[in-house]
Amino acid sequence: MIDVIRVAHCVLYVTDLERSREFYVGLLGLNVLHETPGALYLRGVEDREWTLKLQLAPEAGVRHVAYRVRGEADLDALVALAEARGLPWRWEEELDRPRLLRMQDPFGTPVAFYAESRTHRWLLQDYHLHRGPGLQRVDHVNVMSPDVEGTMRWYMDELGFRLSEFTEDDDGNVWAAWIQRRGAVHDLALTNGTGPRMHHFAYWMPDAMSIIRACDILAGARMPQAIERGPGRHGISNAFFLYVRDPDGHRIELYTSDYVTVDPDFEPVRWHLDDPRRQTLWGARTPRSWFEEGSLLEAFEGGWVTPREGRLRGLPVHVI
Ligand SMILES: [Fe+2]
């Protein structure tokens, strides 16, 4: 079995690098690890590698989402898998990551895998250098999928992901799934919707107060419109959360306080589609934009993956 360790980074296309720098570095306090004329490589204070690359481009979108694997043999096994399944793949190079396997999953999502990365001294206990709300480490990615169950099965069967929680209706249709490799609630979440598109990329936060501080910082900067949903507590994952939108509309989640899933007898948590506590434990409603909007994904040969409407129609309960 291919040994995926965890979700590792995301490359976002942004249309104005200075505007994005002000948002991600100036307000959210992410740390610049490298800088080139057309890109910023950012990390949280616990990240030993860059975890978010902002790349200047004519249009906003997502270049790829990357996972770290244990070793070179896992990359070779991924190439064999791509060949066997007819999935497009190629070797690429990224800063600090000399051997990056870029492929497209069977549903159109651009994914990359690497084993080796140059690491850097972390900033976790350099508290005097922490800025803004103190984003700590990469946590997960959420992809909107027109076929949640098929996508979930592929990642579980081919890449060894394990199911933590899922949302189901009375007919047994899976509307959303949270799957993981590293023993937290999820590395990858899949939610039913027009896609594939990226719904959000998430950072772990030190505590709930740091998430509230992010709200205060955005309000102080006269940018309350960047706060899309929350703060609140999810029923699913039990996490305290906030969703913000960057200047290009990319959605970032600030996330903390979920639980571990390492025990071999862990039983996935099932939620009924009609249970409003799964979205926000406190019953708060969710804005429609949260269900409908997402970032386009780059196709393997360039251009954008054309999103398809979700197999399951309708919005879940409790929408504003
Ligand atoms: Fe999330």
Mark which of 117, 141, 157 sits at the end of a domain.
117
pLDDT at residue 294 above 80? yes
Q: Which domain holds residue 111?
A: 4-117
Beta-carbon contacts of 237 under 8 Å, excluding residues fewer than 6 positions away, are 164, 165, 178, 185, 186, 258, 259
**What is the chain's mean pLDDT, rounded?**
96
CA of 142 to the centre of ligand 1 (A): 6
149 and 272 belong to one structural domain: yes
Give residue 320's pLDDT band: very low, low, confident or very high (50, 70, 90): low
Please check whether residues 139 and 202 belong to one and the same domain.
yes
307, part of any domain:
no
Residue ending a domain, among 117, 151, 166, is: 117
- Total number of domains constituting the chain: 2
**Pick from 117, 148, 163: which residue ends a domain?**
117
Could you tell me if residue 311 is inside a domain? no
Give kind and range of the element (H or E) at residue 6: strand 4-14
Residue 235: phi, psi to the nearest 5? -70, -55
Q: DSSP class of residue 273?
A: T
Summarize pLDDT for 36-71 with one digit per residue, the tens. 999 999 999 999 999 999 999 999 999 999 999 999
CATH of the domain at 51: 3.10.180.10
pLDDT of residue 311: 82
Do 218 and 178 belong to one domain?
yes
pLDDT of residue 316: 67
Ligand 1 geometric centre to CA of 169 (Å)? 21
Inter-residue long-range contacts of 34-40, CB under 8 Å, 24+ positions, other chains counted = 34/95, 34/96, 36/95
| CB burial of residue 29 (10 Å; 0-12, 13-18, 19+) | buried
Does 269 lie in the same domain as 141?
yes
Q: How far is the CA of 73 from the centre of ligand 1 (A)?
A: 30
The answer on 180 and 68 residing in a single domain is no
Centroid of ligand 1 to alpha carbon of 237 (angstroms): 9
Residues with Cβ–ion distance below 5 A, ligand 1: 142, 202, 253
Give the pLDDT mean for 257-275.
96
- Residue 318 belongs to some domain of the structure: no
pLDDT confidence tier of residue 313, bands split at 50, 70 and 90: confident
Q: Are strands 137-145 and 188-192 parallel, antiparallel or unpaired?
A: parallel
Q: Is 38 among the domain residues?
A: yes
- Ordered DSSP codes for 29-56: -PEEEEEETTEEEEE-SS-SS--EEEEE
Q: How far is the CA of 157 from the centre of ligand 1 (A)?
A: 22
CB 253 within 8 A of CB 203: yes
| Contact (CB, 8 A) for 260 and 293 | no
Mean pLDDT of 153-173: 97
Residue 318 has pLDDT above 70, yes or no: no
Single-letter amino acid, residue 244: V
pLDDT band per the 50, 70, 90 thresholds, residue 166: very high
Q: Does 151 lie in the same domain as 31?
A: no
For residues 147 and 288, membership in a common domain is answered with: yes
| 112 and 156 share one domain | no
* Per-residue pLDDT tens over the stretch 203-220: 999 999 999 999 999 999
The reported pLDDT for the residue numbered 24 is: 98
